[in-house]
């Protein structure tokens, strides 16, 4: 329940951090924008999204702040902390390495 | 991790705990906000409001489920569950207050006893020494075979040999126990001091808290007389006054300058009040002491060089010693069994206390085992009664882990509470134990309940809780259904559990029996010791020791003559007191010993080749001493005033030298064992007296020769005063006379021989008392244990017993049945305990006197005691079983 299993493990964290590096936003918007940005490929369920958000918050990578929403209720907006930005840099480098490694393997010619 | 990230995490965790409601509300708000946005998005896509909302909710899924997922991320869940467990444990213990009280009390006694004893063991045996690099300190013990030769100490030439021949030592210091008279404003007092070489403190690794300590420039004849105060004495005698440094005290009527105050530190072999440089003793700088290889009175402490090992030191010492014994073979006869042992200083400091303390520690551990077994039994029984509850909890979804944790929390609560109470008990006991330990060790200042002791208590408490929690078996999943069906209200637990309960009772009884056997043996020892035949015809004799001269003064013949005359004056005046029938003067008081030995040869009995001369204790006595002290004359006559050059010997002496001859009229020769010159002939035996247990009640009598008091040094005299009828004012009257005749004299040891005897048995009495109280405690706890287990078995079997009775079993039969069940357990426990005690009692052989470790009487007494108490404990539940009314019992089911 606590681990998102509909995405490659750990990548959800990376994606969330990346989204928040673009702009600070709330949970719903993160899911929507992710869907948009990935042309509907990456869909994150609420059951994965909120545990992941709360985990990142507890780990000090992101920080939450309450702002009035459009309909004048409170809405929770997340943004990256400085530590989170560094962490994202590290993780995305890792991801690049991993991704290029995997595609290099996949490009092997089959006989 | 960067600091601001760490701070953020900590504050978030803290917020999750402290402002839980806010955090929960925010979680609600966040979820609601998500659903509202999704709804709005759906409306924008053209749905109706209600359809959009339904859609959003469906897509969102189980709100509570997601919340749980989010909550799990807070990392504070375990703590929240724990507080819930603790709250629950509190509640369930409050529901059975008797159970909780019994458990806490028995644990408090068990843990308290362990904590108190452990604090003593730690202070006396385990704690690192306060000396700098104390683990590098060594004590050298020089011994030979034969009585009174277990610690010969060293002579100055021997120390010199060691100094030059043991390179792995960085320093060797000399130390002699000495006594001096200190003039205080309340008159003269005798104090224990240590005479030390200048390098002593450097070697020992001790520092001053005020002033300075002795250094090599304080050695030699030209040095000033200086003293370093021991910390406790500085507090006691000088009120901790820091201006004391540089002032003078009068020791043996000589001015001595106080140069400093030593840090608190234990001494060996005895407590000292001050440490003096050697110039304070004429004797120590005298030619004999400095040059005579046999003049041994120096204890040796040494410090190992960094990196050196004790084996290395031992090897080097052995080499030196081998060379020396070859070179001076006349000083070390091969038959003498001379040996030098190298012992860590910490070990030697604890050697007298070790056996007694570990015995106490083991006894306390036994008490804890017995009480923990009781608690385990109570938990098991309660576990049975709670089985239904546990089954229901399991059925409602509590995982096995969670249940186990609940039990653990409950047990922890009990043991920690018991442990805290135990610390209070220990705190009260430590003072008593400190006084006890003072008889065995000089390290008692280190005894206190400190962090390590608390850690020990905590570890014991947690350990007991862990054991208890894993004894109770949890309901297994498969059995839940059937358990719920049957209700399991009156279950007596499974067979395994019953077996466990019985084994625990057997263990309790066995352990208690071992403890009782130890207590019995030590009590027998104490009784034997207090009934030892001292050889004196009466112990109702007042004694007092009077010291007129210092060691230096006694060689002044004018002063000595004056002192002798004053002693006689005192004797005559005391003899004239009403009720006094005899007054004698001895060099040493009855039952005490100054360990003053000469080597003796008897007329016509030269030692065989390779045999050494016999060591004989020499004591002074005047013509009235034997009659006043109650030492019986066996043969010959007492001293008379006109005697010269005569000696009276005791029975052991005669048995050794003249087994089948008349010793009267025989001559003996003597010499000091450190004098190289030949024997002095010229003492003729005129009488033989009975043996007396001087020195130690538990040691066999030694050979003694009494010389006329007038031939002995006159600094100190022991008065022995016998009176008829009740004379309560006698001690005060006699003391007044002494003070009048010699105002500067030091008077001590004013007590009757019987009082002295009581006092000398007190370590054994305390020892026996402590172990016996542990034994009694264990008996009580074990009795409660077996009674409780049987009572439980009876109540669980009420139904069965009802059936038996309705089928014709009468109440006597039922009673016998229960008694048989309990009796079997008691019998098995007894047998195991007696066997265990029999096998292990040899360990305390060194503490026993007049009784062998396998003394059958003791074992029988212990067996009867345990059996009686066991049967009484079984009787109560048996009676209850017999009173069961079959009609009621069967109706109840």
Interface check for B728 against chain A (CB to CB < 8 A): the answer is no
Q: How far apart are CA B135 and CA A45, in angstroms?
A: 66
Could you tell me the CA-to-CA distances from B495 to B327, B498, B789 in Å, in that order? Answer: 77, 5, 14
How far is it, in rounded angstroms, from Cα B255 to Cα B224?
10
Name chain A contacts of B36, Cβ cutoff 8 Å: 71, 73
pLDDT digits (tens, 9 = 90+) for B174-220: 999 888 999 888 888 889 999 999 999 999 999 999 999 999 999 98
User: E strand or H helix at B723, and its extent?
Assistant: strand B716-723
- What integer pLDDT is reported at residue B654 of this predicted model? 94
Whether the per-residue pLDDT at A80 is higher than 70: the answer is yes
Mean pLDDT of all residues in B262-276 = 90
Average per-residue pLDDT for chain A: 83
DSSP-derived 3-state class of residue B662: coil
- B488 pLDDT band, cuts 50/70/90, is very low
pLDDT tens digits for B234-262? 999 999 999 999 999 999 989 999 999 99
Give the pairing type, strands B226-229 and B254-262. parallel
Q: Which residues contact B316 (CB under 8 A, 6 or more apart)?
A: B165, B166, B167, B168, B169
Residue B59: pLDDT band by 50, 70, 90 thresholds?
Answer: confident
Distance CA B578, CA B468 (A): 71
Residue B66 has its nearest CB partner, among A28, A47, A71, at A47
pLDDT computed for residue B477 by the predictor = 46
Residues of chain B contacting A63 with CB distance shorter than 8 Å: 8
B46–chain A nearest CA distance, Å: 17
Q: Taking a C-beta distance cutoff of 8 angstroms, is the pair B587, B709 a contact?
A: yes
- CA B631 – CA B536 distance, rounded (Å): 5
Residues B828-861 as b/e (b if ≥16 CB within 10 A, e otherwise) read: bbbebbbeebeeebeebeebbbebebebeebbeb
B22 in reach of chain A (CB within 8 A): no
Least confident of B481-485, B687-691, B828-832, B874-878: B481-485
Q: Give pLDDT, residue B480.
A: 52
Nearest to B302 by CA among B316, B289, B292: B316
Q: Alpha-carbon distance B619 to B100, whole Å?
A: 64
Q: Please list, in sequence order, all residues whose beta carbon lies within 8 angstroms of the beta carbon of residue B767, skipping any fewer than 6 positions away.
A: B356, B522, B526, B847
* Maximum CA extent, chain A: 63
Which one of B2, B23, B33, B45 would you mutate to disrupt binding with A, by most A Cβ within 10 Å of its Cβ? B33
A27/B36 Cβ within 8 A:
no
Per-residue model confidence (pLDDT) at position B387: 65
Which pair of tokens denotes residue B719? 């008065």
Helix (H) or strand (E) holding A45: none
Q: How many CB pairs under 8 A join A and B?
A: 82
Say what the pLDDT of residue B506 is: 92
Confidence of residue B603 (pLDDT cuts 50, 70, 90): confident
For residue B723, which of B713, B714, B715, B733 has the smallest C-alpha distance?
B733
Q: How near does any CA of chain A get to the CA of B407, in Å?
A: 28
Closest alpha carbon within chain A to B40: A71
Q: Contacts of residue B68 in chain A, CB cutoff 8 Å?
A: 1
Q: Taking Cα atoms as reference points, which of B893, B869, B879 lies closest to residue B803?
A: B893
Listed residue (B541, B136, B185) closest to B306, CA to CA:
B136
Q: Which is higher by pLDDT, B388 or B505? A: B505
* B70·A28 Cβ contact <8 A: no
A57, A76, A83 member nearest B2 (Cβ): A83
Share of chain B above pLDDT 90, in %: 42
Whether the link from the prior residue into B362 is cis, omega within 30° of 0, is no
Q: Which among A27, A45, A60 is the nearest to B30, CB-wise?
A: A27
ipTM of the complex: 0.84
Residue B74, pLDDT above cutoff 70 = yes
At residue B371, the pLDDT reads 87
Q: How would residue B569 be classed by pLDDT, with cut points 50, 70 and 90?
A: very high
According to DSSP, the β-strands at B339-344 and B137-143 are antiparallel
Give the pLDDT mean for B502-514.
91
Distance from the Cα of A63 to chain B's closest Cα (Å) equals 9
Provide mean pLDDT across the span B849-874.
91
For residues B193 and B274, the answer to whether their CB atoms sit within 8 Å is yes
Q: Per residue in B127-167, pLDDT tens?
A: 889 999 999 999 999 998 876 788 888 999 999 999 988 99
Radius of gyration of chain B (CA): 38
Instruction: Report chain B's mean pLDDT, rounded to a whole number.
Output: 87
- Distance between CA atoms of B411 and B295, rounded to whole angstroms? 65
Range B20-45 average pLDDT:
87
Q: Which of residues 23-42 of B touch A (CB under 8 A)?
A: 26, 29-34, 36-38, 41
Q: In B212-268, where do the E strands start and end?
A: 226-229, 248-251, 254-262
Residues of chain A neighbouring B31 (CB-CB closer than 8 A): 50
Quick one: what percent of chain B has pLDDT higher than 70?
Answer: 94
Burial class (CB in 10 A: 0-12, 13-18, 19+), B105: middle
Using the 8-state DSSP alphabet, how is residue A25 labeled? Answer: B
Greater confidence (B672 vs B342) lies with B342
Q: What is the pLDDT of residue B337?
A: 84
pLDDT band at B487 (very low <50, low <70, confident <90, very high): very low
Please report the pLDDT score of residue B557 as a whole number: 85
User: What pLDDT sits at residue B892?
Assistant: 61
Question: Is the Cβ of B59 closer than 8 Å to some Cβ of chain A?
Answer: yes
For an interface test with A, the pick among B5, B55, B56 (most A C-beta atoms closer than 10 Å) comes out as B5
Q: Name the residue facing B74 among A27, A58, A83 (closest C-beta).
A: A58
Lowest mean pLDDT among B269-278, B479-488, B824-833: B479-488
* Closest chain B residue by Cα to residue A55: B73
Q: Which chain A residues are closer than 8 Å to B10 by Cβ?
A: none
Residue B472, pLDDT score: 61
pLDDT of residue B36: 86
3-state percent breakdown (helix, strand, coil) of chain A, nearest 5: 55, 15, 30
Band (pLDDT 50/70/90 cuts) for residue A1 is very low
Residues of B in contact with A74 (CB under 8 A): 29, 33
Residue B321 CB coordination number (10 Å): 19
Q: Is B810 on the interface with A (CB under 8 A)?
A: no
Which of B814, B733, B402 has its CA nearest to residue B542? B733
């Amino acid at each position: 329940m606590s681990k998102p299993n509909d995405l490659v493990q750990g990548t959800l964290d990376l994606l969330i951090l990346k989204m928040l590096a673009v702009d600070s936003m709330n949970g719903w918007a993160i899911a929507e924008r992710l869907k948009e940005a990935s042309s509907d490929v990456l869909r994150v369920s609420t059951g994965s999204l909120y545990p992941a958000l709360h985990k990142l918050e507890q780990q000090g990578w992101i920080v939450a702040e309450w702002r009035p929403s459009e309909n004048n209720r409170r809405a929770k907006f997340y943004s990256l902390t400085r530590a989170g930005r560094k962490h994202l840099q590290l993780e995305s480098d890792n991801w690049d390495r991993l991704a290029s490694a995997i595609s290099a393997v996949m490009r092997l010619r089959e006989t | 991790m960067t600091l601001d990230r760490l701070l953020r995490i900590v504050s978030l965790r803290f917020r999750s705990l402290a402002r839980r409601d806010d955090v929960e509300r925010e979680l609600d708000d966040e979820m609601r906000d998500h659903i509202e946005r999704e709804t709005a998005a759906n409306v924008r896509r053209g749905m109706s409001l209600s359809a959009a909302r339904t859609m959003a909710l469906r897509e969102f899924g189980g709100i509570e489920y997601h919340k749980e997922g989010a909550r799990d991320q807070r990392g504070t869940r375990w703590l929240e569950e724990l507080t819930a467990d603790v709250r629950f444990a509190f509640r369930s213990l409050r529901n059975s207050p008797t159970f909780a009280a019994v458990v806490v009390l028995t644990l408090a006694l068990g843990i308290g006893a362990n904590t108190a004893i452990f604090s003593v063991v730690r202070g006396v045996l385990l704690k690192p020494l306060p000396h700098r690099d104390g683990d590098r300190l060594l004590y050298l013990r020089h011994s030979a075979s034969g009585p009174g030769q277990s610690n010969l100490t060293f002579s100055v030439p021997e120390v010199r040999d060691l100094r030059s021949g043991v390179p792995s030592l960085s320093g060797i210091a000399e130390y002699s126990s000495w006594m001096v008279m200190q003039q205080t404003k309340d008159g003269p007092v005798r104090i224990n001091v240590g005479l030390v070489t200048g390098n002593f403190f450097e070697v020992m690794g001790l520092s001053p808290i005020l002033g300075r300590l002795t250094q090599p420039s304080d050695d030699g004849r030209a040095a000033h007389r200086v003293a370093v105060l021991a910390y406790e004495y500085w507090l006691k005698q000088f009120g901790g006054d820091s201006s004391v440094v540089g002032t003078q005290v009068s020791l043996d009527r000589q001015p001595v300058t106080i140069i400093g105050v030593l840090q608190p530190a234990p001494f060996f072999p005895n407590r000292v009040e001050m440490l003096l440089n050697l110039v304070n003793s004429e004797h120590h700088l005298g030619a004999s002491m400095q040059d005579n290889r046999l003049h041994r009175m120096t204890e040796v402490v040494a410090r190992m060089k960094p990196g050196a090992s004790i084996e290395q030191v031992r090897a080097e010492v052995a080499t030196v010693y081998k060379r020396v014994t070859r070179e001076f073979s006349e000083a070390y006869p091969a038959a003498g069994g001379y040996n030098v042992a190298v012992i860590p200083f910490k070990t030697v400091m604890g050697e007298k206390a070790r056996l007694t303390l570990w015995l106490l520690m083991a006894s306390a551990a036994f008490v804890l085992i017995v009480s923990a077994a009781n608690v385990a039994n109570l938990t098991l029984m309660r576990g049975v009664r709670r089985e239904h509850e546990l089954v229901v909890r399991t059925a409602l979804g509590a995982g096995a882990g969670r249940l186990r944790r609940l039990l653990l929390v409950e047990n922890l609560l009990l043991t920690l509470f018991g442990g805290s109470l135990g610390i209070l008990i220990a705190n009260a006991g430590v003072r008593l134990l400190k006084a006890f330990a003072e008889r065995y060790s000089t390290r008692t200042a280190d005894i206190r309940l400190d962090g390590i002791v608390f850690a020990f208590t905590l570890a014991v408490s947690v350990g007991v809780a862990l054991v208890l929690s894993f004894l109770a078996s949890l309901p297994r999943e498969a059995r839940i259904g059937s358990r719920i069906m049957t209700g399991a209200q009156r279950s007596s637990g499974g067979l395994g559990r019953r077996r466990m309960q019985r084994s625990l009772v057997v263990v309790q009884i066995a352990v208690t029996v071992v403890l009782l056997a130890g207590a019995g043996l030590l009590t027998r020892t104490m009784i034997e010791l207090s009934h030892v035949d001292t050889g004196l015809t009466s112990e109702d004799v007042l004694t007092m020791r009077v010291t007129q001269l210092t060691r230096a003064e006694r060689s002044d013949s004018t002063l000595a003559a004056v002192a002798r005359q004053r002693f006689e004056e005192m004797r005559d005046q005391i003899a004239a007191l009403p009720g006094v029938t005899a007054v004698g003067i001895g060099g040493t008081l009855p039952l005490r010993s100054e360990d003053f030995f000469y080597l003796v040869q008897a007329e016509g009995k030269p030692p065989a080749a390779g045999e050494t001369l016999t060591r004989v204790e020499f004591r002074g006595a005047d013509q009235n001493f034997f009659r006043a002290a109650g030492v019986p004359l066996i043969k010959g006559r007492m001293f008379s005033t006109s005697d010269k050059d005569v000696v009276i010997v005791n029975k052991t002496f005669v048995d050794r030298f003249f087994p089948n001859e008349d010793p009267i009229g025989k001559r003996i020769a003597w010499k000091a064992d450190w004098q190289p010159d030949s024997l002095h002939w010229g003492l003729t035996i005129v009488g033989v007296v009975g043996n007396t247990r001087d020195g130690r009640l538990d040691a066999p009598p030694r050979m003694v020769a009494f010389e006329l008091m007038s031939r002995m040094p006159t600094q100190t005299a022991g008065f022995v005063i016998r009176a008829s009828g009740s004379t309560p004012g006698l001690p005060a009257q006699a003391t007044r006379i002494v003070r009048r005749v010699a105002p500067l004299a030091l008077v001590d040891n004013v007590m009757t021989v019987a009082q002295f005897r009581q006092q000398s048995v007190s370590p054994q009495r305390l020892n026996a008392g402590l172990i016996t109280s542990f034994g009694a405690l264990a008996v009580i706890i074990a009795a409660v244990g077996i009674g409780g287990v049987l009572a439980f078995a009876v109540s669980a079997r009420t139904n069965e017993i009802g059936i038996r009775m309705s089928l014709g079993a009468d109440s006597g039969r039922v009673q016998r049945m229960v008694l048989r069940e309990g009796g079997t357990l008691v019998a098995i426990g007894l047998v195991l305990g007696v066997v265990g005690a029999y096998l292990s009692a040899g360990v305390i052989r060194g503490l026993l006197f007049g009784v062998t470790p396998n003394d059958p009487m003791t074992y029988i007494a212990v067996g009867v005691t345990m059996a009686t108490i066991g049967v009484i404990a079984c009787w109560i539940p048996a009676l209850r079983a017999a009173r069961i009314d079959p009609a009621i019992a069967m109706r109840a089911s």
